[in-house]
A and B are shown apart, each in its own frame.
Chain A
Amino acid sequence: MTLAATLLAAEEAENPLIPHAYELVVGSFAFLVVFLVVGKILTPRIQKTLAERTEAIEGGIKKAEDAQAEAQRTLEQYRAQLAEARQEAARLREEAREQGAAIKAELREEAQAEARRIVEAAHAQIEADRQQAFTQLRGEIGRLSTELASRIVGESLEDEARQRRTVDRFLEELEGRPEAVR
């Protein structure tokens, strides 16, 4: 019965596969309106915006990459400079140490030479003094010997004791003139 009703309805209905002419016109009009507004006016706008967005994002990424590269470069530069400075400092230190050592050695050399010179001068002085003293002494001894001998000869050699006393006195006199001895 249901089937019959459906069939009956189908017979009454228009054939759904035959398009209505007016609907073709209405559909074309509707599609045209949508195509002109959505397709021709609006789609290019959103395409432009999407392209700009892509560009902006890519530009941002590029910018960030550039900044990072720049920072990296600067860092490398600083590191290189720092290493260079360290090397320079080490070199200067080494140089100073070498110079210090050289100066020390030189000073020591000089001091030693000076010391040697002083010692030599002292030696020479001493030798000269000794020579002078010797010369002086030689004359003095001769005189003194002559004096002593005259005294001994002059005094009668009475006894041993006297003789000893004379010698002792002489010797005491001698001691009373120390400069003559030296």
Chain B
Amino acid sequence: MTPLMLVAEDFTAPGPSIFDFPPLYEGAPSWLTKPALMAIFGALVVTALAWSAFANPKLVPRGMQNIGEMGYQFVRDQVARPFLGKDAERWMPLLLSLFFLILLWNLFGVVPLIQIPVASHIAFPIVFAVTIYVIKIYLGIKHQGLGGYFKNMMFPPGLPKPIYVLLAPIEFLSNLIIAPFTHAVRLFANMFAGHLILAFFSAVGFWFLFEKPTPLGAGLGVVGVIMTIAMTGFEMFIEFLQAFLFTLLAAMYIGGSLHADH
């Protein structure tokens, strides 16, 4: 055993159990946990912020409206228009709600005291992914017909016949099973891992500088604090990126169902 291991003997790294929350107080209903509360709180905050920005919009924007418009135009120009073209405006209500809510829920991961990205509980990404999945299949059948939808999906034209033996099942699997699964899991896993990393480094800093301060472990604790700060910045970027990516994929799935593959 190296001296460092000796120093770290009693240290326990935070594991997946940090995502398990008991009911908020004694005798509270079992659903009323911190993530559930934060999910509702986040929805209310998004609603309130959006209300202050867009409730009474002016031709010449001021204050919150400027920020809101920045978000709106970001989603419209980077997400909706590239994938939906002229249908972009029609789908903006869904995409904007999705982006704002996921972004705020994700950012909760670095807000002091809250410090839990809501999407690190897979139920929340599943809600979004299932919503998009249902819309995707509904639109696909509506716009391309039941047979046409599956034909366009599994038998893209212009390939040699034997390829379809391989391609058709792969496309079916990828579009109807893997796509929604990865859609939800990508967001969940990023938030889950990010939160675990932050928890780990802050636990290292706290343990070696306060809980069990030793001359040998102090250096480790300082590294933990520095890494916590650095990873917090990185997490903010990841949280934004994942919100963007989730919305982007939603737009892509919707666009793919509206128009048969390009």
Contacts and interface: CB of A to CB of B under 8 A. Distances in A.
Interface of A: 1-2, 5-6, 8-10, 12-14, 16-31, 33-35, 37-40, 42-50, 52-53, 56
Contacts of A34: 43, 46-47, 97, 100-101
Contacts, number: 151
A20 B19 CA distance: 12
A31 B93 contact: no
Nearest to B14: A9
Given A34-B46, A38-B97, A43-B72, 15 more contacts: A1-B9, A6-B13, A12-B17, A13-B16, A16-B120, A16-B121, A16-B192, A23-B39, A27-B124, A27-B128, A42-B53, A43-B92, A45-B56, A48-B57, A49-B59
B17, B69, B188: most-surrounded residue (chain A CB, <10 A):
B17
Interface of B: 5, 8-9, 11-17, 19-20, 30-31, 35-36, 39-40, 42-44, 46-47, 50-51, 53-59, 65, 68-69, 72, 89, 92-94, 96-97, 100-101, 120-124, 126-128, 131, 185, 188, 192
8 contacts: A6-B15, A9-B13, A23-B121, A27-B126, A38-B101, A42-B51, A42-B55, A43-B96
A31 B47 contact: no
B93 A35 contact: yes
Interface of A is mostly: helix
Contacts of A6: 13, 15
A1 B122 CA distance: 29
A81 B136 CA distance: 68
A49 B50 CA distance: 15
A50 to B, nearest CB: 7
Nearest to B17: A13
Given A12-B17, A16-B192, A56 B59 contact: yes
A45 to B, nearest CB: 5
A9 B15 contact: yes
The 7 closest A-B pairs by CB, nearest first: A9-B15, A39-B93, A23-B123, A22-B31, A19-B123, A30-B43, A49-B57
Given A16-B16, A31-B101, A35-B93, A26 B58 contact: no
Given A19-B122, A47-B89, A42 B54 contact: yes
Given A24-B126, A30-B43, A38-B100, A46 B12 contact: no
A36 B6 CA distance: 56
